Amino acid sequence: MNEYRYDHQTVQGFILSAIFWGVVGIVVGLLISVQLWAPGANFAPYLTYGRLRTVHTNGLAFGLGVGAIFGLSYYIVMRLTRRPLLFPKLARAQLWLFNAGIALAAISLLMGQTQSLEYAELEWPLDIAIVVLWVMFAVNVIGTIVKRREEQMYVSLWYVLATVVAVAVLYLVNNLSVPAGLTKSYHLFAGANSANVEWWYGHNAVGFVFTTPILAMFYYFLPKSTGLPIFSHRLSIVAFWSLVFAYLWTGAHHLVYTPLPDWLQTLAIVFTIFLIAPSWGSVVNGYYTVGQDWSKMRSTYLTKFFVLGITFYGLQTVQGPTQALRVVSQLIHFTDWVPGHVHMGTMGWVTMVTTASIYYVIPKIHGTEIHSERIANVHFWLVLVGQLLFSITMWITGIRQGWMWKATDASGKLLYPNFVDTVVDNYPMWQARTLAGVVFTVGMLFFVYNVIMTIRKGRALEAQAVARSAPAAAPAA
């Protein structure tokens, strides 16, 4: 256990950093949700909706998401290779650079420094810092796996490795730009190509930040916390390869009916529909794993996080392909439906699995138990209710607004020619969304409290152990 002590502190450092940036990102999310129905809540120039929205998305994707991925991937890699990290100091340096980078990123976004590419807003100096971070991560993950003390690589390691290479390729290509000063650059690609490269990146950021590393956690922590083996190894293999193959073809489904050539849109739509298969490969594998003993849902508090998480992953990966179809896209594209979809993935699938994994890891590295299962259960239900309320309101809003944009009378005249009429109609729904966000946030605060109390408990135990061993050591000396 002591062999791992230093690395476990690094893992915990990433987890706590992720939680900190997560709280920042969620609070900013609440503020921008209020700004949508109360424009007086904009405080120009730094705290306007436009600038804050990027802080919200980047804070949660890179701060919470990537921070947790760094920490939990390191934990999984150490367990599955049966050894500490190959470069412990490098991982610690990565932790500091990560926090400095996210802090600078937040400031630069508030200053309005943005490439205007979704999920790739950060300007080129920060892009370079992120590339350095990722190389540090890749070197440690690959190095540790190469020097492993376990012959076979378990499925979680495949997903971690795929994440490492895919994110590297995606990030490098989409951020190709020509600097026009320290805080401004122009995308190398123009118009249709700029759009196509960006959404190849953007969709696969979802694929390789919000999917593959989360699946790595799912495949490791579900069997660990339930004691049930993964149902089918063969299914994991088929699902893995078909997922990482098909994902990269689908970016243009974000550009249906734009001036992008039809063939590219159609190709993306076809592969998007195909993606249902590998996604559901993991869903089925998850269900059948727990299906070996459903009583775990009651007896082991973490089981329901994973089961609900994989359920939202399953719903997400059917809803997403449905949205790619032209007939659906023409109605819901550009409406609130899409943020509703994204938030089911992030607040349902990603949050459920990540928080459950953290609940598993934190007590483990301190050799103790969770502070309170009851608080974890309260957290679970609040997050679940908040997320459902959020997504469902957004879907209703999206369909209504899409319909209002299209509605014409018998002579072909628009029924709602003033755009603002179709916006005002959303205000009550947006207020409901803010309420949903508050419920979700309270749930997450219960989670944060629970994690901190568990760490305090762990530290107290360690202090006791030291105190006990000290007098025992004295007579011997």
The interface with other proteins within residues 14-43 (CB under 8 A) comprises 35-39, 42
Cα–Cα distance list, 320 to 99, 253, 254, 440 (Å): 32, 10, 10, 23
Shortest distance, position 75 Cβ to other proteins, whole Å: 18
Kindly tell me which residue out of 181, 299, 473, 476 binds other proteins, with binding defined by CB under 8 A: 181
Q: For residues 355-394, which are near other proteins according to CB under 8 A?
A: none
Interface with other proteins, residue 186, by CB under 8 A: yes
CB 101 within 8 A of CB 123: no
CB 227 within 8 A of CB 252: no
Interface with other proteins, residue 461, by CB under 8 A: no
Q: Distance between CA atoms of 77 and 91, rounded to whole angstroms?
A: 13
Angle between helices 155-174 and 67-81 in degrees, nearest 10: 140
CB 192 within 8 A of CB 260: yes
The site map against other proteins for 111-140 (x = CB under 8 A) is -xxxxxxx----------------------
Beta bridge partners of 39: none
Q: Which helix (H) or strand (E) holds 72?
A: helix 67-81
Kindly tell me which residue out of 103, 172, 414, 460 binds other proteins, with binding defined by CB under 8 A: 414
Interface with other proteins, residue 267, by CB under 8 A: yes
Q: Distance between CA atoms of 48 and 41, rounded to whole angstroms?
A: 8
The site map against other proteins for 328-347 (x = CB under 8 A) is --x--xxxx-xx--------
Kindly tell me which residue out of 161, 215, 308, 384 binds other proteins, with binding defined by CB under 8 A: 161
CB 359 within 8 A of CB 377: no
Interface with other proteins, residue 178, by CB under 8 A: yes
Nearer to other proteins, 6 or 416 (CB): 416
Interface with other proteins, residue 252, by CB under 8 A: yes
Kindly tell me which residue out of 9, 23, 53, 448 binds other proteins, with binding defined by CB under 8 A: 53
Interface with other proteins, residue 280, by CB under 8 A: no
Q: Distance between CA atoms of 1 and 394, rounded to whole angstroms?
A: 47
Q: Distance between CA atoms of 318 and 341, rounded to whole angstroms?
A: 11
Nearer to other proteins, 2 or 151 (CB): 151
Kindly tell me which residue out of 6, 20, 87, 189 binds other proteins, with binding defined by CB under 8 A: 189
Shortest distance, position 60 Cβ to other proteins, whole Å: 15
Interface with other proteins, residue 475, by CB under 8 A: no
Stretch that binds other proteins, among 8-16, 261-269, 308-316, 461-469 (CB under 8 A): 261-269
Kindly tell me which residue out of 23, 90, 97, 264 binds other proteins, with binding defined by CB under 8 A: 264
Kindly tell me which residue out of 1, 82, 149, 190 binds other proteins, with binding defined by CB under 8 A: 190
| DSSP letters spanning 135-164 | HHHHHHHHHHHHT-SSSSPPHHHHHHHHHH
Number of shown-chain residues binding other proteins (CB under 8 A): 99
Q: Distance between CA atoms of 385 and 380, rounded to whole angstroms?
A: 9
Examine residue 213 and say whether the peptide bond preceding it is cis (omega within 30 degrees of 0): no
Q: Distance between CA atoms of 297 and 68, rounded to whole angstroms?
A: 25
Kindly tell me which residue out of 90, 97, 110, 192 binds other proteins, with binding defined by CB under 8 A: 192
Interface with other proteins, residue 397, by CB under 8 A: no
Q: For residues 421-440, which are near other proteins according to CB under 8 A?
A: 423-424, 427
Interface with other proteins, residue 195, by CB under 8 A: yes
Interface with other proteins, residue 182, by CB under 8 A: no
Beta bridge partners of 187: 177
CB 33 within 8 A of CB 397: no
